[in-house]
């Protein structure tokens, strides 16, 4: 019998990625408080692990449950650019990234009764030169307000010029790499 999969997130993007792979799972919001400073890889992996452990405990730490936690950070100019606090912060971040290349790091953790597996993936994203009008329209849509770096590759706005690496990593869950490195769920 396969373990019951729990996603330690209510992210619609992560849910969509798991659903697109035909997985059955439940999503539980973690109460873990994320950090957004320090080394981006360590930060992303530690946040993912904190979320997964928190939800595993909420679930009662039973056998037969596997919890998947993930955290995506945008890293540019020596700083982690987290989710914007408000529209003004989103505008500031988008202007900072306009025409530039940055890194997207997604850390992941899989927690079960007798095992913990962690890892990460890194992609590079280059933005188009963003006009003030485009930034205003995009921020006005509300789409960037719940995303690291104040943008989503999948949002349908001409924000991203190009990227290298896994598209799903940029969106928030490098599913294929997780399965390859951990053997799956």
Catalytic, 71? Answer yes
Is residue 108 classed as helix, strand or coil in its secondary structure? strand
What stretches of 59-159 adopt beta strand conformation (E)?
A: 65-76, 79-81, 101-112, 115-127
Which is it for the CA torsion 90, 96, 98, 101, positive or negative? negative
Secondary structure tally for the chain: helices H, strands E: 6, 7
The tokens for 108 are 């992941």
CA geometry: angle 76, 42, 167, nearest 5 deg: 60
From the candidates 36, 54, 71, 155, give the one annotated as an active-site residue.
71
CA distance 19 to 21: 5
Are 176 and 168 within 8 A, CB to CB? yes
C-alpha dihedral (16, 19, 23, 29), degrees to nearest 10: 40
Looking at the annotation, which residues are catalytic?
Answer: 71
């Amino acid at each position: 019998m396969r373990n019951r999969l729990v996603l330690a997130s209510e992210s619609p993007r992560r849910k969509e990625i798991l659903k697109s792979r035909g997985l059955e799972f439940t999503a539980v919001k973690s109460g873990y408080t994320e950090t957004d400073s320090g080394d981006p890889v360590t930060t992303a992996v530690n946040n993912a692990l904190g979320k997964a452990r928190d939800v595993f405990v909420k679930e009662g730490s039973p056998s037969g449950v596997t919890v998947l936690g993930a955290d995506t950070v945008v890293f540019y100019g020596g700083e982690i650019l987290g989710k914007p606090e408000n529209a003004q912060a989103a505008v500031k971040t988008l202007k900072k990234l306009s025409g530039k290349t940055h890194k997207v790091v997604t850390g992941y953790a899989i927690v079960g009764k007798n095992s913990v597996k962690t890892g990460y993936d890194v992609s590079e994203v280059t933005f188009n030169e963003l006009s003030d009008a485009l930034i205003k329209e995009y921020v006005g849509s509300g789409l960037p307000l719940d995303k690291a770096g104040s943008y989503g590759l999948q949002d349908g706005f001409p924000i991203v010029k190009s990227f290298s690496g896994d598209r799903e990593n940029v969106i928030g869950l490098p599913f294929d790499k997780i399965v390859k490195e951990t053997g799956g769920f």
